[in-house]
Amino acid sequence: MDQDAISEALRLFREAMKSDPYLASAYGMAAWCYARRRANGWMIDCAKESAEAKRLARKAVHLGADDPVALCMGGYALARVAYEFEDAAAFMDRGLTINPNFAQAWMLSGWLRAWMGEPKLALEHVAHAMRLSPLDSWMYGMHGAMSYAHFVASRYERASSYAEKSMRDNPGNLHIRSQQRTRRTP
CATH of domain 103-186: 1.25.40.10
Report whether 67 contacts 51 (CB < 8 A). Answer: no
Mean per-residue pLDDT, 18-34: 98
Give 1-100's CATH code, choosing from 1.25.40.10, 3.30.1050.10, 3.40.50.720, 1.10.150.120: 1.25.40.10
Q: CATH topology of 1-100 equal to that of 103-186? A: yes
Residue 122 CA to residue 47 CA, distance in Å, equals: 29
Residue 186 CA to residue 172 CA, distance in Å, equals: 30
Domain boundaries, the chain: 1-100, 103-186
Residue 170 CA to residue 174 CA, distance in Å, equals: 9
Give the pLDDT confidence of 37-51 residue by residue, as tens digits. Answer: 999 899 999 999 999
Put simply, whether the predicted model's pTM sits higher than 0.85 gets the answer: yes
Give the pLDDT confidence of 132-172 residue by residue, as tens digits. Answer: 999 999 999 999 999 999 999 999 999 999 999 999 988 76
